[in-house]
Structure formats: C-alpha cells, structure tokens
Amino acid sequence: MTGADVEAGVDSDDEDEFIGVGEAADLADDGSGPPGVRAGGRAGAGSRELPPLRVRGSLAARIVALVLLVVLGTASSAFIVANQVRGLRANFDLLTGVYVPVQTRLLQAQAQSQRIGTLLTSYGNPENQLERADLLNVEEAFELRANLIAEVRLPLEQALTHPDRLGGIEQLDDVRELDRLLAELEALATLETGGDISEAITDVPRQVEISRRFRELQKLTNETVAGQRDTVSAAGRNAEQRALVVTIAAAVVSLLATLVVILTLRPLRRLAVSVRRIGAGDWRERIEVGERPERDDEVARLAREVNLMAEALEEREHRVLRGERLAAIGRLAAQITHEIRNPLSSVALNAELLEDELVQFGDAAGEARQLLGRIAGEVDRLTQITEAYLGFARRPKPELRRLELAGALTDLLDFLEQEHRRNGIRVVRELASEVWVRADAGQLRQALINLLRNAQEAVLEVTVGREGQTDDLGDLLDGLDGDVDGEPEGAGPDIGGEATITVSLACKDGQALVVVADSGPGIPTPERGGYERIFEAFVTSKTHGTGLGLPMVQQIAVDHGGGVRLLETGPQGTRFEFRLPACDPPAPSVSSPNSA
C-alpha cells in the first residue's frame, strides 16, 4: 500500500492488547516482517553489548554432576589411599610379624643346635665316658632344640591360617616354603627324642644334616627378610607417589569444580546486570539467549522471561506516552476544529450568496462561477478534514455485540464491488465461514474500509502508472479524494501487472485474523523510526494526507481487544493483519412447544 496515515490512539488504561514491540514476537514467528520492523529485543542505546547467553545443560543437572564428580573423586582418592595403606600394612606385618620373629627364633634354634654339636663332639669321643647327669643334659638340649624349631613354625602357621591379614594366600609363597623346610627339620630333630640318647649322641651324620638344614634355612630367611624389606620400601615409595597423584587429581577436580561454578554463575551475573539496567529504566535492554533447544535451561528461560518483561514495560511506557500525546492531540484537534468550522461555514454561505448574485449576469459570469465552484470544493475538503480530526478526537467507545465476521466482510466487499470493478481491480476472497467476534459493527466497518481503500490506492498507483502517490482517502470517511500527490522519495517502481486485492479471514488460537493484501509497490520506509511509525498520528508520506487512517484502525482494533500489524511490504505488495478475539456463536433459540 501507499503511505500510512496515523497512529491510533491507544487508551493508556487498556493494557490487554497492543501492537508494535508487543507484537514483535508474532512478527518474528511469521518470518515475513518488512525491513525496519523490530522482531525482537534489542540492546539499549549506549549500553555495553553483552555476549549471548549460552548455558549448557540444566542447572540442576550441572549441580548434580558437579556433586557426583566431587564425590567420585573423593571416593576414588580414599579408595586408592586405603588400598595403598592396606597393602603397605600387609607387607609390613608380614615382615615384622612373620619373617623377623622366624629369623630371631631360628637363630635361637640354630644356636641351640650348635651347642648340641659342641656337646656331641666332646661326648662322642670314646675316651670320654658320660655320666648320667651329662646324658640328661644332652637329652634336655635335644628337647629344647625341638621346641625352638616348633616355636619357629608358629608365626608361619598363623600366617597360613589367616592369609587375608597379610595380603592374601598368593602373597605367602615364601612362607609356605619356609614352613615346609621347617617341618622337615622338625621331623628330623624330633626323631632324636624318641630313641636312645646314646645312639643320638653317636649319630653324627644326622647332626651334620640338621646343621646343614639350619644353615640353609638361615640363608633363606635372611634373603626373605631382605626381600621383604625391599618390598616394604618399594610399597612406601609407591604409596607416596600415588598419594601425590591422588593429590594432583583432587586439585584438578577442585579446579574443574571451580570452573563449573564460575561458568554457572557468569550467566547469572550477566542476567543480574541486565535486570539492574531494566530496573534503572532502560526498557530497551535485552538479554541474548542461544536458540539451540538443548541449551534451553533455567537461566535461558529466565532470560527470555526477563526479555518479555522488558518488552512489556517498554510497550507500556510507549502506550502511556501515546495516550498522553493522543489526548493532547485530541484536545488540540477539537479546539482547532471548533475554531475553523465557523469561518468555513461563513465562507461557504458567502460563496453560495455570491453564486446567486452572479445568476443575473448570465454567461458573462462563467469564469467567476468556476472560481466559486473551486472555492466551494476546497471548503468541502477542509470541512471533511476538520470532521475527521473531530471524529478522531471524540470517537466513542465501541458498543460490542456478537457479529459474524465473514458475513460482515462479504457485505462490505459487495458494497465496494462496483467501485473495484470500475477501477479494474480484482478482489480475491478467502473467507472462512462462521467466525464470530464481539465488535461494534460501525467502527469495524470503518477500520476495514480504511484498509481496503488504502489497498485500492496502492494497486491503482501500479495499474494506472501514476508518478505520485494519491492521498489516503480512507482515513475515516467513505469517500475517496481524487487529488494526486507528488511521489515521495523511496516510492516503489511501477511494476505493472494486474491490480489485485486479496482479503482472507481465518480463525487461529482464539483469534479472528483478517489479512488485506495488495499487489502495490509497497510502503516507503519512514525517515526515522522504521515501519512502526506508520501507526503514529500525523505521520504520512502524502502531501494532502491527514495521517489519521492507520492510527484510527489501530485504535479501533485495540479498543476491541485486538490489534493490527504490518506483516510485510515491498515491491511485490503489502499485507496488513487485523486481529480480533473470536467468541462463541450465539446459542440457538429454543421454541416452546405451544408456540407453533
């Protein structure tokens, strides 16, 4: 369509429905908004741009994961340390509780065996005859040696009986070997106590074998003790190294936890900064949030809610300002209209009287009558403009009644059909049936006529190939002004083609949507403020336009609980959407049985 006329007066008390910034989300959903139409939040002027919030995962999930990570790290560290301590303790117990006592007792048994050897060496000489006391002494030495060998085996037997205390049965191979050798030695030494002591004294080879077994056991025990000491030392070093590794791992886990906390709180800090800016009155502040679904966590949702709140606050402020401005404009328009109507009436009356006086001059006054006709035409045009301003200032509140919108649109299009046909305009109707709304029929008709007349102007500009844009004569009246304006800067080119107006009606999500589309050249971009300004009062790109048409349409829509918005505009045409809340159809009347 051609330029837009006026911003609607949005009553500042009505906060249920609005357009502009409040409709930006709908416009973004359609993906068809014209250039310049704001489709979402923007950062306040002069404010520092913040990077988009990109929060990964849910806050609850991240907190749980962080706690589990710390618990897992702590449990792993404790398990590793406990395992190292248990292994070190088992090796140490094996050394101090088994091998060292075995070594000590074996030395005592070996010393006793050497004493027996010394006795036998001296007693074994045939020249030496042993007395009864000496024999008892030797026998006592044999028994003591056997008992010492049995005592040597006690730690080994206890270790084999309870292997879990020493790291398991697989760690006791040396213990089993020592116990086997000691059992053989014990058997060899015990035989001596069952026989004649005289024979035992003279059995030198047996004593030599016992001495050899003692030496082998002592050597094996020393090697085992040395090896176990090395094992304990190595286990201690390993425990220290693993403790260091565990400490480093715990430090890494703590660092990761700290980073997660920082990354978790950073969006909240940015959110707090934006909320403070909004609280300070910067309604244009917006928080940019990533659009990936997997990042739709609590912070992202909170940021979107804050953006919606900021948009609502910004729109409310705009509505209050618009209401105050329109109230002032209304008072001014009413006062100016009152001051102008009386002089216009006098001019019109005097022109009629002068025309009556010119009758007596006949054809000689033809040129004067033409001038008087032009004066009367201009007076009529000014009267229409003043009436438009007065109607804008004193527009009554709508009287809402149930109305079938498809039928009302059909009646209106039928009423304009001859005018459209005369101008060569094809009207495409895409009307859903049975769409009910609560509306003031007169005001609704006025708003729809304005949209249709604007569309008619746009397609006529293309079809006729005018060089300028015609005045928006569908401001508030049924008539169409035939004046031709100069082409404003930025007007679309004459693209030719068939003049087409498409009127569609649909019901979606409890809203009745009327879309008026034309094949015109599009709306020129306003010099300042973008396409939102086409709904402001007295904003027009026309020479003779009043700038009240689209604002009146918007005000009527808002008073009905709906709205109007520009869906798209460009060289291929323009689309406006007029929205009203749908309602249920009236209940069918039920006739009484006696009313036949």
Q: Domain of 575: which CATH number?
A: 3.30.565.10
Instruction: Quote the pTM value.
Output: 0.43
Question: pLDDT tens for residues 197-218?
Answer: 666 666 667 777 877 888 888 8
- Specify the number of domains making up the chain: 2
Residue 332, domain member (yes or no): no
Residue ending a domain, choose from 200, 235, 270: 235
Domain holding 141, by residue range, is 78-235
pLDDT of 2 > 70? The answer is: no
Residue ending a domain, choose from 212, 235, 258: 235
Residue 132, domain member (yes or no): yes
Give CA torsion, residues 86, 92, 98, 102, to 10 deg: 170
Q: What's 71's DSSP letter?
A: H
From the list 59, 22, 62, 43, the residue with the least C-alpha distance to 273 is 43
Helices 441-464, 405-422: crossing angle, 10 deg rounding: 30
Side-chain half-sphere exposure of 143, counting CA atoms within 13 A: 9
Residue ending a domain, choose from 172, 202, 235: 235
pLDDT of 132 > 50? The answer is: yes
Residue 106, domain member (yes or no): yes
The percentage of residues in the chain with a pLDDT greater than 70, rounded to a whole number, is 69
For residue 166, give the CATH number of its domain. 1.20.120
Question: pLDDT tens for residues 328-365?
Answer: 766 777 777 767 777 877 787 887 787 777 777 777 67
From the list 343, 419, 416, 386, the residue with the least C-alpha distance to 548 is 386
So what's the pLDDT on residue 42?
39
Tokens 């003031």 label which residue?
A: 440
Residue 66, domain member (yes or no): no
Mean pLDDT of all residues in 425-429? 92
Among 159-163, 278-282, 430-434, whose mean pLDDT is lowest?
A: 159-163
Residue 62, domain member (yes or no): no
Write the CB contacts of 245 (distance below 8 Å, at least 6 apart in sequence). Answer: none
Give CA torsion, residues 190, 196, 197, 198, to 10 deg: -140
Residue 1, domain member (yes or no): no
Specify the 3-state DSSP secondary structure of 63: helix
pLDDT of 444 > 50? The answer is: yes
Residue 102, domain member (yes or no): yes
Distance between CA 527 and CA 541 in Å, rounded? 10
pLDDT of 573 > 80? The answer is: yes
Give CA separation, 203 vs 188, 191, 196, 208, 272, in Å: 12, 12, 11, 9, 101
Residue 255, domain member (yes or no): no
Sign of CA dihedral 552, 558, 561, 567: positive
